[in-house]
Chains A and B, each alone.
Chain A
Amino acid sequence: MNKKKFWLWILILIIVLAISIIGAIMVGSVGITPQLIIEVLLFKTGILNETNASNAQQIIIWEIRVPRVLLALLVGASLAISGAAIQALVKNSIADPYILGVSSGASVGATSVILFGAFSFFGVFALSLAAFLGAIIAVWIVFMLARVSGKTSMIRLLLSGIAVSMVLGAMTNFMLMISKEQGGVQAVMFWMLGSLGGAKWSNLGIPFFTFCIVFPLLLLSYRQLNALLLGEETASTLGINIERFRLFIIIIVSLLTGVVVAVSGSIGFVGLIVPHIVRMIVGSNYKVVLPLSALIGAIIIIWADIGARIAIAPEEMPIGIITALFGSPFFIWMLRRERYAFGEGE
């Protein structure tokens, strides 16, 4: 992968991303032209002094659709880079950002808020906060279980992630079962499958800042992430403090996924599939894999959200259904190809 080719890909993907953003803002019950969108965007950011858009159009564009597409972008990019990092961390190609228990922990938190009104003193933030706390506690338990005499084994991490997810899944299901409220149960289902419907300017801030911290940190660690793919023994002979580096990755990645899941629910498949798509195109060097994953993840979630909004309009479809429905066949196509071996290689 040479520099020219890399920047060409970045350029192409940024153009596609820009088109996707405009497209996502256009789609909806009220039709809006691209010119109007650009005009309103320039007006709101203070570049233009006046606009032909009506007040209602301005509100639809600026208060509803723009935050939503930005959240889609952030969620997609975050899940994709988290997936890429986790796959290097556990040196396993089936890993995704939720393998450490993030989504099952978040589900317990969210379910207890939706069904039983837990954390109600936090008002509108109760759901996100409970989901985030659930996610972080789950990861912490998984990590502690994987630590045996001061060393963290990656296979133990994977397996304790599965075990803890099962227990937490049972708790969520139990709460769903004893709940008498039909509406609440449906709300939980909707949350678990993921939705960007809750996007507002006010809840973009935290995911945005977390992403802006975690992404550069991961990118600066690309040498260590690459070295981990050679195996832990080789990585440590390359001068990497393996235990410390792994802890660092676990902390920053679970923070990012925790924050994202808290605002959007657990959208599946993106974190697993995007890093593989990127490796298929440009190889495994994390210096290249991370930025391209972020862009492709963002584009995919933006389009999945468009799908979620129009598939059964005026009802909204959970975005997780879209990502799984379109992601799986694509994934199957990838794994039937000979050229990309999913790291089996040998």
Chain B
Amino acid sequence: MFQLQHVEYSVDDKEILKNISLEIIEGNFIGIIGPNGSGKSTMLKILYRHLKQSSGKVTLHEQEVWDISPKKLARQMAVVSQESTVLFDFTVRDLVMMGRTPYKGWLSSDNSEDMSIADRSMKLANVAHLANRALSNLSGGEKKRVMLARALAQQASILILDEPTNHLDIEHQLHLMDLVKELPITIIAALHDLNLAAAYCDELIVMKDGMLHIQGSPESVLTTEMLKEVFNILAGVSKNPFTEKMHLFFYTNTAMDTRGEY
């Protein structure tokens, strides 16, 4: 569905993405992982067309993304970026209704269908009870869920999330991942937490120094060797005894050396 062919991106001679070719299959939950500065966010920004690749080709359903009209693209793809500051205050409902923007022409007004889509999106993102609250009075986690509800109201078949669990407490992290996982659409998320990535994603894309290091199922990708090479950490791979999902344990040599001292 989504295809990248030899995509490069550079700013002032600095290469940020180097020769990336990959394909994203419809309906999968894709996690993009990699250390800071490995190009995760840049790659997402190229996918959702905030940045234009310096060379190479990005196609969605065989069509170059830059040839798709902004409105049409926004109906196919919704994004929750890291951008979170909203100038001035909106109610949660007003903000979620903004997700209907790509369906609106100059003269069209909000109809009852838009209202019910917004209601459903709010319910799904667990913010329905906040509908009439002002955004500025919400906690960080609530705001994130409101942004997610806004993206859901776009009714797109692709949802892109840039570090969606940032600033969320553990309960909301898991809740958000559960919710997203349940959606019958393609999800592409940059994730920091490797255990969340392991537990929820169907496929992982590992980035290192602007290059695609490896792509594959969590089981095939998350190996002790890869974690040493890409993340420069020591890790053991095990299983979460409750969910039966893959679980990683991290440690450093320093921690190993001081183990006996306590």
Contact = CB atoms under 8 A, between A and B. Distances in A.
Interface residues of A, number: 31
Contacts of B89: 279, 283-284, 341, 345
Interface in B40-84: 45, 48-50, 70-75, 77-79, 81, 83-84
A229 B88 contact: yes
Contact of A227 (B84, B91, B98): B98
A346 B85 contact: yes
Given A240-B101, A283-B94, A234 B79 contact: yes
B110 to A, nearest CB: 9
A283 B87 contact: no
Given A223-B98, A239-B102, A343 B81 contact: no
A239 B90 contact: no
A237 B86 contact: no
Given A220-B107, A231-B83, A238 B90 contact: no
A233 interface: yes
Contacts of B101: 223-224, 227, 238-240
B136 interface: yes
B104 interface: yes
B70 A283 contact: no
B120 to A, nearest CB: 18
B50 A285 contact: no
Given A223-B98, A237-B78, A238-B101, A93 B87 contact: yes
Interface string A261-284: 000000000000000000100011
Interface string A185-219: 00000000000000000000000000000000000
A229 B86 CA distance: 6
B90 A341 contact: no
Contacts of A285: 90, 94
Nearest to A340: B89
Contacts, number: 93
A240 B99 CA distance: 12
Interface residues of B, number: 36
B90 A284 contact: yes
A230 B73 contact: no
Interface in A1-45: 1
Interface string B94-112: 1100110110101100000
Given A92-B87, A234-B83, A241 B107 contact: no
A236 B49 contact: yes
Contact of A343 (B48, B77, B83, B87): B87
B107 to A, nearest CB: 7
Given A234-B81, A237-B77, A283-B90, A341 B136 contact: yes
Contact of A237 (B48, B88, B90): B48
A238 B98 contact: yes
A239 B77 CA distance: 10
Contact of A229 (B70, B87, B107, B136): B87
Interface in B126-147: 134-136
B94 A91 contact: no
A284 B86 CA distance: 10
Contacts of A341: 89, 136
Given A87-B87, A239-B71, 15 more contacts: A220-B106, A226-B98, A229-B87, A231-B85, A238-B98, A238-B102, A238-B154, A239-B75, A240-B70, A284-B87, A284-B89, A285-B90, A345-B87, A345-B89, A346-B84
14 contacts: A1-B91, A226-B94, A231-B86, A237-B48, A237-B50, A239-B70, A283-B91, A283-B134, A341-B136, A343-B87, A345-B86, A345-B87, A345-B89, A346-B85
Interface of A: 1, 87-88, 91-93, 220-221, 223-224, 226-227, 229-231, 233-234, 236-241, 279, 283-285, 341, 343, 345-346
The 3 closest A-B pairs by CB, nearest first: A239-B74, A239-B102, A284-B88
